[in-house]
Each structure stands twice: as structure tokens, then as C-alpha cells.
């Protein structure tokens, strides 16, 4: 093989494969060799897809040799989180209770990726029930951050973030209901985007329909080392599918917009770490040099209440069943997360349930008006640099501090907004980054701003 696949973007790699400059099988073997060398130390990929990957790569090569058209992801290696249905594999969601929940069909977004020639090289880890910003469970074990094993790789898509950082595939699928794409991207030093609900169709036939909170706020989306890989992934993954009742055929490119950004350094009054503040200042300077107007607004719509609404909606959405499942699984992380709200959950009655939706509409309206004036909001991903591994198991005080720090991760889904985590750099083995937020369905603006930031910060190096 004459090239290192990780030296190319996904778009450039697919182009090389389509033009027969390199074969999909060569790329797949090289990626699987890298998985064999690196994954045992970090445990990002927890379900092996090597045999199927090689067969799919061979099929791509046969189409090319026959002169048949191949897709935009022709031969590009990707990973899929174990929370999503992939035909022939268990959709475990990181729990022993689901170790035999073998999917009979692909989730819609995966079907789209396969139709465009993507090659799934492995399935990535998640915490039990995908509850935490840390990634360990009793079925698949603990995933380590390839940048620094003392730090969390994030969660719940911690396996996806670790795989992307280590070069175990160009595009890593993740999910996000309270930061599960954006936080692993931040913690692992890669790029990640949470799309608008309905942008990327997803449905697990193995598990049936999601409850209310999941339908309103949970999304699938990509993580990668390059912003253009995120863009290409969204181009492929997006669209209408009848199996996803929230999906919509909204074009990825919207109307022309004003290149104007709001710099929000302390959303909800949170105490942001000095390094993150410095990163935000650098990001603002990068955007200004790229022709953006960046301002610090006098007032910003409410975010802290959005966290309370998101939390109460989660508690009202089958909390007792969640506790029963976590107790049956016996996972300490899931039990700690749920236990934090044991006294709060009984207060969520029908009246509060209705109030959540009324107040949500008010907050969403305020944010949509703000984003009409400022098409981009530049803010922290978290108040803190990436947490220590399993720090949420250090007791109630640690868990309270972690939840407070994650205000931007929790609030954005409740507000119905897309957001991207963009790497600012890795210093002393500790990644950092900034958070780009835009109006619903304007992932194109999010990606444009992220690409401008990437040009200034640089594409992150592979974690070796």
C-alpha cells in the first residue's frame, strides 16, 4: 500500500479508491491492522466486524472493476456505536441484559452509509445504558482515552471518540441526548457534531420506539478528526426515512447568512476554566481573521433553566423503570447517575410534565430570536477540562460538580439546537476545544464556522 489512509480526508480517500489508485480491501486491511495494534490498549471497539468489513470492501472493489458507480464513502472505514442496530450484531447499549439483542436490520442512517460504500470496521463502546460522560460497563469493559488514559474518553460515545482519535476509522458514529457526541469529541481531541433532531434518521427495530425525551432530543451524528469528514458524513447520513417519525428531508445548505458570532464565555453564569477562556479568545480571533464579526452580547437567553427542564423531562420519562433496569444490571455508574435524582423524581407529576413543555417553548423561542441576530454562538463545551476517568464515582460532591460543569452539553438538546465541538489543541496530554451552536437545521453554518476554526487551530494529530 502506497498511502497511509489516515493521511487523507474521507472524501479524498474515497476519491482515490474510486479512481483505483488504492483498493478498498487495502484500506480495510490497513485499518484492521491498526485496530489490532492499538485497540487492545484502549478498548474503543468492542464488537469485531473484520470478516464482514473485508467482504464489503471486496464488493466495493468489484463494482469499481466492473465500471459500476460507487458512493461518496466508497471504501471509507467507519465505526458504529453499540447503541445502534447493525444487522447481525447485538445492540447492547453497554448492558449484559441486552447481550443477545441481535439486530435483524440496519438502522436507517447505517443503511445510507452502506449504500454509499462505507465499510464498518467495528462497533464502539458506551457506558451502561449510555447514561454517563464516562465509558465503562460490565459487558464490554472500560474504554481509555488514547490521548491520556488518566482522563475520561467522554460518554456516552466514548468508544467513538477514542476510535476517531486513534485513527481506527475515518468516521465514528455517535449519539447525543445530553452531550454524548460533543463531549467525547472534546475529551478525545477530535471534531464532533450534534445535528438537529430529524436530520439523521435512526430507528432500532431491536428495541422499538423511544420514549418522549429520546424522540425529542436524541440524535445520531458523526465524530472525526477533520471537519470535512463531519460534513461528508452528514451529507450521507441525512434525509427522510419512514421508520424515524422525527426525520425530515431538509436540505443541508440553507439560505445565505450573516457571518456574525456571539462570544459567550460563561453561559448560565458558570465558572469557566482559564484555559477554556483562552481557547475561546483564540477562536474569536480566528473567526475575525476569517472575516467574521464577533461580539460579546449584553444579554444571552436562559440556559440554566433548560438544564432543569431537560433533567425533569428525563425523570418523568420512566424513571422507575430506569432504576429497576440499572439495579438488575448492577452497574455502579448507572446507579450513581440515577441515584443523584432519587429525591427529585417523585416531584415530577402531570402538572410539572405540562409545565416542562410550556417553558421549553418559551426558551426555544428566545434562542431562535437570538440566533436570528447571531447565526453562531461560540461558547464552552464544559466549564472544566476533561474529567478524570470515572470521576463521577468519587461521590455525590464530585457528581454534583460534574453536572454543573456540563451545562452547555445538557441545555442545547432541550433547546433543539445543533452544536459542534471543535478541537483547540492538546496540551500536556489534556485536550480542549470550543463549542459552536447554531439555529435548528443550520448545520451548514455550524460546519462553516468549525472549518474556519480548524484552519486556525489545526487538524488534530493521531493519538498513537
Question: Residue written as cell 469557566?
Answer: 272
- pLDDT over 90 (residue 2): no
pTM over 0.95: yes
pLDDT band at 1 (very low <50, low <70, confident <90, very high): low
Q: What confidence score (pLDDT) does residue 15 get?
A: 98
pLDDT one-digit tens code per residue, 361-378: 999 999 999 999 999 999
Please state, as a whole number, how many other Cβ atoms lie within 10 Å of the Cβ of residue 383. 20
Q: What is the grid cell recorded at 15?
A: 476519491
pLDDT one-digit tens code per residue, 213-234: 999 999 999 999 999 999 999 9
Q: What confidence score (pLDDT) does residue 3 get?
A: 81
Mean pLDDT over 397-416 rounds to: 98
143: CB partners within 8 A, 6+ apart: 42, 43, 44, 46, 124, 125, 135, 136, 153, 158, 159, 162
Mean pLDDT over 93-114 rounds to: 98
pLDDT band at 208 (very low <50, low <70, confident <90, very high): confident
Mean pLDDT over 418-439 rounds to: 98
Q: What confidence score (pLDDT) does residue 464 get?
A: 83
Domains in the chain: ranges and CATH: 5-252 (3.90.1300.10), 260-405 (no CATH)
Mean pLDDT over 397-422 rounds to: 98
Q: What is the grid cell recorded at 189?
A: 481531541
Active-site positions read: 81, 156, 180
- pLDDT over 70 (residue 299): yes
pLDDT one-digit tens code per residue, 230-268: 999 999 999 999 999 999 999 999 999 999 999 999 999
Q: Which of 85, 80, 16, 4 is nearest to 49 (CA)?
A: 80
Q: What confidence score (pLDDT) does residue 10 get?
A: 98
Q: What confidence score (pLDDT) does residue 239 get?
A: 97
- Of all residues in the chain, what percent carry a pLDDT higher than 90? 99
Residue 72 near residue 116, CB atoms below 8 Å: yes
Q: What is the grid cell recorded at 381?
A: 463545551
Q: What confidence score (pLDDT) does residue 57 get?
A: 98
pLDDT band at 66 (very low <50, low <70, confident <90, very high): very high
Element (DSSP H or E) covering residue 366:
helix 350-373
Long-range contacts for 57-60 (Cβ within 8 Å, ≥24 apart)? Answer: 57/23, 57/24, 57/25, 57/27, 57/28, 57/119, 58/24, 58/25, 60/17, 60/24, 60/117, 60/119
- pLDDT over 70 (residue 418): yes
- pLDDT over 90 (residue 29): yes
Average pLDDT over the chain, rounded to an integer: 97
Rg (CA), the chain: 21
Q: What is the grid cell recorded at 248?
A: 425530515
Amino acid at each position: 500500500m502506497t498511502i497511509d489512509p489516515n493521511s487523507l480526508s474521507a472524501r479524498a480517500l474515497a476519491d482515490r479508491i474510486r479512481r483505483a489508485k488504492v483498493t478498498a480491501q487495502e484500506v480495510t486491511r490497513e485499518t484492521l491492522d491498526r485496530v489490532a495494534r492499538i485497540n487492545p490498549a484502549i478498548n474503543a471497539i468492542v464488537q469485531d466486524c473484520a470478516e464482514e468489513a473485508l467482504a464489503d470492501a471486496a464488493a466495493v472493489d468489484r463494482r469499481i472493476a466492473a465500471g459500476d458507480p460507487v458512493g461518496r464513502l466508497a471504501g471509507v472505514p467507519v465505526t458504529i456505536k453499540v447503541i445502534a442496530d447493525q444487522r447481525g450484531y447485538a445492540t447492547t447499549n453497554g448492558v449484559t441484559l441486552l447481550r443477545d439483542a441481535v439486530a435483524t436490520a440496519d438502522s436507517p442512517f447505517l443503511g445510507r452509509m452502506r449504500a454509499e460504500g462505507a465499510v464498518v470496521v467495528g462497533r464502539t463502546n458506551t457506558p451502561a445504558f449510555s447514561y454517563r460522560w464516562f465509558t465503562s460497563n460490565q459487558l464490554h469493559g472500560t474504554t481509555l482515552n488514547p490521548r491520556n488514559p488518566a482522563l475520561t474518553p467522554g460518554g456516552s460515545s466514548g468508544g467513538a471518540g477514542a476510535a476517531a482519535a486513534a485513527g481506527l476509522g475515518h468516521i465514528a458514529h455517535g449519539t447525543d441526548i445530553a452531550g454524548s457526541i460533543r463531549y467525547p469529541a472534546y475529551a478525545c481531541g477530535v471534531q464532533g457534531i450534534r445535528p438537529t433532531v430529524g436530520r439523521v434518521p435512526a430507528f432500532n427495530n431491536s428495541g422499538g420506539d423511544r420514549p418522549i425525551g429520546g424522540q425529542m432530543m436524541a440524535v445520531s451524528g458523526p465524530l472525526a478528526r477533520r471537519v470535512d469528514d463531519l460534513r461528508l458524513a452528514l451529507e450521507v447520513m441525512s434525509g427522510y426515512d419512514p421508520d424515524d417519525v422525527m426525520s425530515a428531508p431538509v436540505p443541508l445548505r440553507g439560505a445565505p447568512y450573516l457571518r456574525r458570532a456571539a462570544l459567550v464565555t460563561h453561559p448560565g453564569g458558570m465558572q469557566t476554566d482559564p484555559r477554556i477562556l483562552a481557547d475561546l479568545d483564540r477562536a474569536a480571533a480566528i473567526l475575525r481573521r476569517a472575516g467574521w464579526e464577533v461580539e460579546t452580547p449584553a444579554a444571552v437567553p436562559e440556559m440554566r433553566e433548560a438544564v432543569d427542564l431537560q433533567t425533569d423531562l428525563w425523570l418523568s420519562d420512566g424513571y422507575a423503570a430506569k432504576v429497576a433496569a440499572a439495579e438488575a444490571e448492577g452497574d455502579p455508574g448507572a446507579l450513581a447517575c440515577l441515584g443523584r435524582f432519587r429525591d427529585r423524581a417523585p416531584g415530577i407529576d402531570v402538572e410539572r410534565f405540562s409545565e416542562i413543555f410550556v417553558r421549553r417553548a418559551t426558551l426555544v423561542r428566545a434562542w431562535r430570536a437570538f440566533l436570528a441576530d447571531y447565526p453562531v454562538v461560540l461558547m464552552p463545551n464544559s466549564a472544566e477540562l476533561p474529567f478524570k476517568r470515572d470521576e463521577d464515582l468519587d461521590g455525590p460532591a464530585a457528581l454534583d460538580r460534574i453536572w454543573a460543569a456540563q451545562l452547555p452539553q445538557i441545555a442545547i438538546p432541550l433547546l433543539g439546537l445543533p452544536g459542534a465541538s471543535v478541537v483547540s489543541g492538546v496540551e500536556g496530554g489534556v485536550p480542549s476545544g470550543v463549542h459552536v451552536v447554531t439555529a435548528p437545521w443550520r448545520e451548514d453554518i455550524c460546519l462553516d464556522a468549525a472549518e474556519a476554526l480548524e484552519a486556525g487551530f489545526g487538524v488534530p494529530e493521531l493519538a498513537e
